[in-house]
Structure 1
Amino acid sequence: MFSAISALNGASYSGAVDVAETGLRGMISLRGDFASKDFAAAVWQVLGAALPAQRKTVMGKAGRVVWMSPDELLAVVEYGAAPKLAADLRTALAGQHHLAEVVSDARAVFSLTGAGWREVLAKGAPVDLAAQAFGPDDMRRSRLGQVAVAFWMVDDQSCELVCFRSVAAFVFDWLKTAAAPKTLPGYFQ
């Protein structure tokens, strides 16, 4: 019998900040016309969330909805709920140009927790992570050590980062190295 496991089976590291693979997370890639009232209504009906603004995230009844591009959202939901939610989205969007596919097993999610999480990400992501430029519910698609990632701020003490499963071990090792004790420059503190 098949039993799903996350990319790194919940690996964690405690250094200047805590880095942890969050385990199995459901993810749905949803594409469509954000200007369509019917598209927005379907997202509200199924995910319980309004469409997020550009480079933002919103929490809905099913989980976090992340803006990924002008026509793409990423719904981060409970792992077991993703297939049904994707099917419900396809039903709600019938007749409209759209894509709603489960991508849970193609991705890995990491949490960074601690006051220095901005410092860790700034070591490898070419993004302005100053508090006035990157705040709660902000997200960015970027690179980390030349690997594609997306990350969003959860609160002042934490953020989450998603990458392709195929590079999860590299990203985890990169984050561990960047979060080594006594290596944070203190630029944002």
Structure 2
Amino acid sequence: MAEALARITQVDDLGMIQIRADLARAGDAIAGAAGLAIPDEGRVTSDGTRRLGWMSPDELLLVLPRAELADALAALTDALSTEHALVLDVSDMRAVFRIQGARAVQVLMKLCPTDLAGMPEDGLRRTRAAQAACGIWREPGGYVLIGFRSVGDYLRGLLEGAAVPGSQLDPR
């Protein structure tokens, strides 16, 4: 029996906070409250358990263990209380999948119109998996894909289908 190209698992224990603000003005306050440096464009900063991802010129996404969500939300809200900013728990709006294994990038390359193989270790890409908007970043042994929960079943099916044993891409 052939082995799947990657292991696809849904992750349910992460919290996510969307942060919208003038990053030039509020960057230090966000970094202090999040406990992570502000990432450069298209990058992620991490301490191993938390990730702060650059989503757009005025938007960041903090991904952390769900158990830390309430404290982080309160710290960010307090730190940005004097700024024109949005701090929003978007955890329940998102579906998260881990794509792990030596051929994980092949699974994603079948679905996404972006060069994930060339993505730096600390890179984050906003793209599409088939027709579903998503964000993708690297982690040890593979990738993490986030999308809207409303298309979570669709994303799971796409990922599992792209990982079917024997479906690797032609190396030519």
Q: Same fold (TM over 0.5)?
A: yes
Aligned with residue 69 of structure 2, among 68, 73, 82:
82
Aligned with residue 119 of structure 2, among 128, 134, 139:
134
Equivalent AA in structure 2 for residue 26 of structure 1? G
Aligned with residue 165 of structure 1, among 149, 157, 163:
149
8 Å contact 2:6–2:163 — kept in the other structure? yes
Gaps of 5+ in 2: none
1:10-64 CA-to-partner distances (Å, cap 9, x unmatched) read xxxx72100000122100000111112xx22222221111100111001148611
1:150 maps onto 2:135 in alignment: yes
1:138-171 CA-to-partner distances (Å, cap 9, x unmatched) read 110011110010000113x311010111111110
Q: Following TM superposition, where does structure 1 have runs of at least 4 consecutive aligned residues deviating by more than 2 angstroms?
A: none
Structure 1 residue 98: Cα displacement:
0.7
Tell me: higher relative CO, structure 1 or 2? Use CA pairs within 8 A at least 6 residues apart.
2
Aligned with residue 22 of structure 1, among 2, 11, 15:
11
Whole-angstrom CA distance in 2 between matches of 1:17 and 1:89: 36
Whole-angstrom CA distance in 1 between matches of 2:78 and 2:135: 28
8 Å contact 1:47–1:62 — kept in the other structure? no
Equivalent AA in structure 1 for residue 98 of structure 2? S
Of stretches 82-91 and 157-166 in structure 1, the one that deviates more from structure 2 is 82-91
8 Å contact 2:128–2:134 — kept in the other structure? yes
SS of 1:26's equivalent?
A: strand
Whole-angstrom CA distance in 2 between matches of 1:100 and 1:29: 6
Whole-angstrom CA distance in 2 between matches of 1:30 and 1:50: 14
8 Å contact 1:47–1:61 — kept in the other structure? no
Structure 1 residue 129: Cα displacement:
2.1
Whole-angstrom CA distance in 2 between matches of 1:186 and 1:150: 26
TM-score (norm 2): 0.93
Structure 1 match to 2:164: 180
The two structures, once aligned, show a CA RMSD in angstroms of: 1.7
Whole-angstrom CA distance in 2 between matches of 1:167 and 1:187: 31
Q: Quick one: structure 1 residues 15 and 87, their matched pair in 2 at CA, closer, same or farther if it must change by over 3 Å?
A: same
Gaps of 5+ in 1: 1-13
Structure 2 match to 1:92: 79
Whole-angstrom CA distance in 1 between matches of 2:162 and 2:49: 33
Q: How many residues align?
A: 170
Counting aligned pairs with the same residue, the percent is: 34
